Amino acid sequence: MAKILLEMKNITKTFPGVKALDNVNLQVEEGEIHALVGENGAGKSTLMNVLSGIYPYGTYEGDIKYDSEVCKFNDIKDSEAKGIVIIHQELALIPYMTIAENMFLGNERGTKFKINWNETSSLARKYLDIVGLKDSTQTLIKDIGVGKQQLVEIAKALSKDARLLILDEPTSSLNETDSKALLDLLLKLKAERNLTSIIISHKLNEISYVADKITVIRDGSTIETLTKGVDDFSEDRIIKGMVGRELSDRFPKREHHVGEEIMMEVKNWNVYHPLYNERKIVNNVSIKVKKGEVLGISGLMGAGRTELAMSVFGKSYGENISGQVFIKGQEVHLNTVQDAIKHKLAYVTEDRKGNGLILSNPIKINTTLANLDAVSSHKIIDKDKEYKVAVDYKEKLKTKAPTVEQNVGNLSGGNQQKVLLAKWMFADPDILILDEPTRGIDVGAKYEIYCIINQLVAEGKSVIMISSELPEILGMCDRVYVMNEGRIVGELDGKEATQEKIMTKILQSSGNKEVNNG
């Protein structure tokens, strides 16, 4: 029997008014990849923050036994000294520093008064080679993609002599190719270095692929641990453990009543990069969306989908933008976000924490931000009206929070996403652009957001959904545009669309600059 490297016993963690963890138990064997799964708010990240010392000893109840020793970590340095390293979903890298500088930040090579840059660079190269990253150690972080940034974080962890690596949603911002490469790296590090990993992820196909064991947490309690080769590792079985019931259909049924009226049409749209003015990011794109339609825009990361959406939404991205936008047949000039909102267009950003919400403010303030006039009189906000609106949307969207006075930063990812949706629904748009609306949230919360989308189009609104998850595009959309290298390279009816057809259009168009709009 393999050695038990980590044992967490009866871990209980309470925040004001909320018991986040309730007698949670976790055992991890040396050299295994152990997955933690559960709905948003189940307590997975909280448990790992307890383990890594982010929540120090004394702020929780229970015991942590690591490598046969009881541990009382007071901060993250204590856990790292034992070889426990956590990589958070929001990567902690500094864009304008080099890869080598980032890898040894806080762990500098040299003396107290002078950094040894040669040693820094050579050690960085050593660990970058282990994770398979060929870029120069002097490359700035801002000049590499998110997939490579994840590799830098893992190399950084290895440089700290990590024996137990904790990865919180490591593939949430990666495309399928980069995700597979990262998972294969974890398998390689397990085989070659006996590295133990704990991975938190909502992508259940990836969990089934990489994990030796899966521990399910629900409502702050341990439900069960499944073992590969012994227990059923299917996605349906994992979902049942997570939500406490069978989820027979991932996508809610909808009666399709797409109207003939074209709600919005974008013609010959061109957008250039805001810094590198010679780089065309969106190239002669034309799309249209009808009343009551869920229109999908599919494509690989970097295809230009977000840039297209943001540039249409009040020119909030890009330079030298040209083309035409028509709403209900009339040409409109959306030069600012206010112009877009005035013409009943809304954009739900993919970056809810950075650009979508004010995390330090409560639910009630975030809910009404995009339509303050509706809760104001003579430019003064009516606090009672603001509160009532927020409560109405909290109930309508089933947002889990004790009160609308709760700061949004204290909510789980799925509930933050619901507040972001509420913000734009309260603006009462006719056309709603949803950019990666279910990124980083669990299957139960996804289903609820799909129901909200169906409700919006049933009311005659139009939804444009940008998603990197092909099953989501296929399960929800009436029609799909395929985008690659800044162009529309195909258009498919929702009933005929398949993953193979979408990927074929992307692959056939790659490198071909003469593809026509589809």
**Structural domains of the chain in order of their starting residue, each with its CATH number:** 4-243 (3.40.50.300), 249-344+429-518 (3.40.50.300), 354-427 (no CATH)
The C-alpha atoms of residue 462 and residue 289 are separated, in whole angstroms, by 7
Q: Which of 167-176, 373-382, 420-429, 504-513 has the lowest mean pLDDT?
A: 504-513
Whether residue 463 is predicted with pLDDT greater than 50 in this model: the reply is yes
Q: Which positions ≥6 away from 500 have C-beta within 8 Å?
A: none
Could you tell me which of 466, 491, 198 has the C-alpha nearest to residue 313? 466
Q: Higher confidence at residue 509 or residue 105?
A: 105
pLDDT of 15 reads 80
Residue 53 has pLDDT above 80, yes or no: yes
Residue 1 is predicted with a pLDDT of: 65
pLDDT score of 442: 72
Which phi and psi angles does 102 have, rounded to 5°? -65, -40
Highest mean pLDDT out of 99-103, 399-403, 509-513: 99-103
Bridge partners for 35 per DSSP: 199, 214
Whether residue 515 has pLDDT greater than 80: no
Residues in the chain, how many? 518
Better-scored residue on pLDDT, 412 or 293:
293
What pLDDT, in 10s, does the model give residues 355-410? 889 999 999 999 999 999 999 988 899 999 999 999 999 998 888 888 999 999 88
- pLDDT at position 268 is 97
pLDDT, residue 518, reads 36
- The type of residue at 318 is G
Task: State pLDDT tens for residues 102-133.
Answer: 999 988 888 888 999 999 999 999 999 999 88
237-293 pLDDT per residue, tens:
888 888 776 556 778 888 888 989 999 999 999 999 988 888 899 999 999 999 999
Average pLDDT, the chain: 89
pLDDT tens digits, one per residue of 178-234: 888 889 999 999 999 999 999 998 888 889 999 999 999 988 899 999 999 999 888
pLDDT value at position 516?
Answer: 37
Could you give the CA distance from residue 513 to residue 390 in angstroms, rounded to a whole number? 48
Q: Find the Cα–Cα–Cα–Cα dihedral 449, 450, 451, 453, rounded to 10°.
A: 90
What backbone torsions phi and psi does residue 217 show, to the nearest 5 degrees?
-115, 135
Residue 17: what pLDDT? 67
Q: What pLDDT is attached to residue 204?
A: 85
* pLDDT at site 517: 38
Q: So what's the pLDDT on residue 107?
A: 84
To which residue do tokens 């009881």 refer?
A: 70
d(CA 403, CA 67): 42
Res 513: pLDDT: 42
Taking 80 as the threshold, does the pLDDT of residue 441 lie above it? no
Q: Band the pLDDT of 510: cuts 50, 70, 90.
A: low
The answer, yes or no, to whether residue 466 has pLDDT greater than 90, is yes
Q: 100 near 121, Cβ under 8 Å?
A: yes
Which pLDDT score, from 0 to 100, does residue 113 have? Answer: 85
Cα 337 from Cα 316, distance rounded (Å): 7
